[in-house]
Chain A
Amino acid sequence: MLPADPQGPPPDGAPVGRRAVLGLLALGVAGIVGGRVVESALDRVVAPVELRDPTGLVSLLPAGATFRYYTVTGPVPKADPVTYRLGVTGLVGHPLSLSLDDLRALPQTSLTKDFRCVTGWQVLQVPWSGVLLKDLIDAAGPTSAATAVRFSSFDGLYSESLTLEQARRSDVLVALQMQGKPVTHDHGGPVRMYVAPMFGYKSTKWLSGIELTAGVQTGYWEQRGYAVDGWIDG
């Protein structure tokens, strides 16, 4: 059955719906422009609670310093810490194959720096430590043809590159520790890159190989539109 008057009665009441939608839009835009400040303040309140929360429920909230786990393949197999080897190969005089113990025996460098994703999420003041990439490159002795470094991952797909100049910076680490503990599998352990001045996609997880090359080869996300030089632009 259709109503007597298909148009229904003329509108009654105030257009509160329109106001509510416009209000939400204004709130959303204000949050985009000024949300970083609010988020930092909120993180300072929530992060200590989250650390002491026995139920783990607080971690479901989008607050507190939380990493997001980016995996471009299916589940990544765990590396065996005994048989793990990091290769330093390509245009070098002395190719290396380093075990975890070899890496731990090298001089360690610690940095406490922010981790920023190009999409906007960030974890502030993360303590990292490991071997300077520069030290590994120098130990392998790049030939005069080498101008870039390519990283590969034992996830079997991910890759990244830096120019040799970028790779020799003193804030580019082959990280063994994160937040005071060995880098866990979920965070890309046992060995991952940490390229402090660049966005997170430049910091290859589940690192398995470092190859000196004659030119920069674009990495996984760079083939999908991200900048090859992933400088954090502020």
Chain B
Amino acid sequence: MTPVGRAGSAIRPRPQFTRFSRAERWVHRLTAVLMLVCIGTAAILYNGSLSLAVGHRRQVELIHVYCGFALPVPMILGLVSLAYRLDLRRLNRFTEADWRWLRPGRRRPEDRVGKFNAGQKINSWLSSGSILVLLISGVVMYFVGLTPLAWRTGATFVHDWFALALGLLVIGHIVRAVKDPDAREGMRTGSVSAYWARTEHPGWASEFEDHPPDAGLQE
């Protein structure tokens, strides 16, 4: 248990649960930086007023392209980490309770959100899938000798719309994070307060008890 004092709770160290390993936090950090550079340069390359104000298309394009090529690399390197792979497994799996979570009216008291809620899972799928599609369509556009012109036109079309969708997703992700300082702390420091975990992710919080009820049944 790491004693983390905060204003107002300095008397007793708050119990903390480990949420993200160092490897996971670095994957997130590097992906975030590359993503923001891609979004910034994309805006310059795409928007007419910005294009004309900044110019230097070749240099902006090179930054965009190389950050784009690098974008999936932290996620691929993360695979060497067991914690990262285990979290990928959790993000991949979707239960009946997750489907119900998406429609708050249908949620049931016995549905206990695990380490990731359904929205976080879907965000992870859409982000990683979109990054792959942007990478493939970007390669088609950048290496102009690779494919017939019709494919490059198709790739431009795909790249534009996926970029718009992913941009909105990233904005949504940031807005949600801004509203939840505890979640941000989890990604920044690696651990979260037990209180937050029990409130937001009760199914996951119960894994920290000495005799987790679920694990007991299965073993």
Q: Do A and B come from one complex?
A: yes
* Count of interface residues, chain A, beta-carbon cutoff 8 Å: 60
B 150-172 to A, binary, CB cutoff 8 A, 1 in contact else 0: 11111111101111100000000
Structural contact, A33 and B154, CB atoms closer than 8 A:
yes
Alpha-carbon distance A118/B140, docked complex (angstroms): 11
* Count of interface residues, chain B, beta-carbon cutoff 8 Å: 73
Kindly report which residue of chain B lies nearest to residue A18, judged by CB atoms: B92
Q: A4-B215, A5-B215, A68-B48 are in contact. Are A34 and B154 (CB under 8 A)?
A: yes
Interface stretch, picked from B29-37, B103-111, B179-187, B204-212, is B204-212
Q: Which residues of A contact B (CB under 8 A)?
A: 1-5, 7-18, 20-25, 27-29, 31-36, 38-39, 60-62, 66-76, 116, 118-122, 186, 224, 226, 232-234
Q: A11-B90, A17-B92, A20-B129 are in contact. Are A4 and B52 (CB under 8 A)?
A: no
Chain B at the A interface: mostly helix, strand, loop or mixed? helix
Of the candidates A13, A15, A17, A39, the one having the most CB atoms from chain B within 10 angstroms of its own CB is A17
Chain A at the B interface: mostly helix, strand, loop or mixed? loop
The smallest beta-carbon distance between A9 and chain B, in angstroms, is 6
Alpha-carbon distance A11/B86, docked complex (angstroms): 9
Structural contact, A39 and B133, CB atoms closer than 8 A:
no
B125 at the binding interface (Cβ < 8 Å)? yes
Structural contact, B55 and A75, CB atoms closer than 8 A:
yes
Structural contact, A36 and B48, CB atoms closer than 8 A:
no
Q: Which of A72, A73, A120 contacts B154 (CB 8 A)?
A: A120
The smallest beta-carbon distance between B40 and chain A, in angstroms, is 16
Structural contact, A76 and B55, CB atoms closer than 8 A:
yes
B24 at the binding interface (Cβ < 8 Å)? no
User: Which residues on A sit within 8 Å (CB–CB) of B151?
Assistant: 32-33, 120
User: Which residues on B sit within 8 Å (CB–CB) of A120?
Assistant: 140-141, 149, 151-157
User: Which residues on A sit within 8 Å (CB–CB) of B86?
Assistant: 7-8
B199 at the binding interface (Cβ < 8 Å)? no
Kindly report which residue of chain A lies nearest to residue B93, judged by CB atoms: A13
Question: Beyond A16-B93, A35-B157, A68-B46: 12 further Cβ-contacts under 8 Å?
Answer: A1-B194, A13-B94, A14-B93, A20-B125, A20-B129, A25-B129, A28-B136, A28-B158, A32-B158, A119-B144, A120-B152, A233-B148
Structural contact, B93 and A12, CB atoms closer than 8 A:
yes
B11 at the binding interface (Cβ < 8 Å)? no
Q: A13-B93, A75-B55 are in contact. Are A35 and B17 (CB under 8 A)?
A: no
User: Which residues on A sit within 8 Å (CB–CB) of B160?
Assistant: 62
Alpha-carbon distance A36/B141, docked complex (angstroms): 13
Alpha-carbon distance A19/B92, docked complex (angstroms): 9
Alpha-carbon distance A13/B115, docked complex (angstroms): 14
Structural contact, B52 and A186, CB atoms closer than 8 A:
yes
